[in-house]
Structure 1
Amino acid sequence: MAVKDLVENTISENKIAIFSKSYCPYCKRAKSLLTSKFPDVQTKILELDELDEGSAIQDYLAEKTGQRTVPNIFINQKHVGGCDSVVSLDSQGKLASLVSA
């Protein structure tokens, strides 16, 4: 099960894991927010539209999280949701403590 291993390893080996699509405006906003606010934090971004197994990864993420859309974001191995969730956490002042936890 290579796809499952790829997803689980990406989540466990990086403080921030973003499953994205390169053309998605919500993905761009979330990636910009996270990489500009936390430039020194180990972040892995997988562009699903650029990977052969991208749709299989998206299927597995939907199964794992119940979320079919991108971006699909994990911080410290915790699923936080998509762009709106990250923006909301940031505006509530909760994002930095989640990342530094």
Structure 2
Amino acid sequence: MAPVTIYLSAYCPFCHRAVALLEQKGASYESISVDGKPDLRQFMTEKAGSHTVPQIWVGDTHVGGCDDLFALERAGKLEPLLAGDK
């Protein structure tokens, strides 16, 4: 499986939904909390081009946020991406 990285905040319901979907798919992921870490949030913003959480990467592919992750799932593209089949 491709490595998954998710930048998130503890109080973000969209973050919780994204994590739940990743867990449902059996994906292992690294979660990085940006709570109270302005330098880390700035790094995430520069890397993602967005300041909102969650921001999700599967391997080197920037997925985007929760809605983007669920759109991939609906399109049948999430599992191949997680499997490393871009």
Shorter-chain TM-score category?
0.7 to 0.9
The aligned length equals 83
Instruction: Name the aligned partner's letter for residue 30 of structure 2.
Output: K
Counterpart of 1:97 (choices 75, 80, 83) is 80
Q: Which runs of 5+ in 2 are unaligned?
A: none
Show structure 1 runs of 4+ deviating over 2 A.
none
Identity %: 35
Compute the TM-score of the two structures, normalised by the length of structure 1: 0.76
> Cα RMSD between the aligned structures?
1.4
Compute the TM-score of the two structures, normalised by the length of structure 2: 0.88
Q: What is the CA-CA distance between 1:77 and the residue it aligns to?
A: 2.0
Preserved CA contact (<8 Å) 2:4 2:56: yes
Counterpart of 1:73 (choices 35, 50, 56) is 56
Q: Which runs of 5+ in 1 are unaligned?
A: 1-13
Q: Which structure's residues are more often helix, by fraction? A: 1
Counterparts of residues 26-65 of structure 1 (less than 5 Å): 26-38=14-26, 41-49=27-35, 54-65=37-48
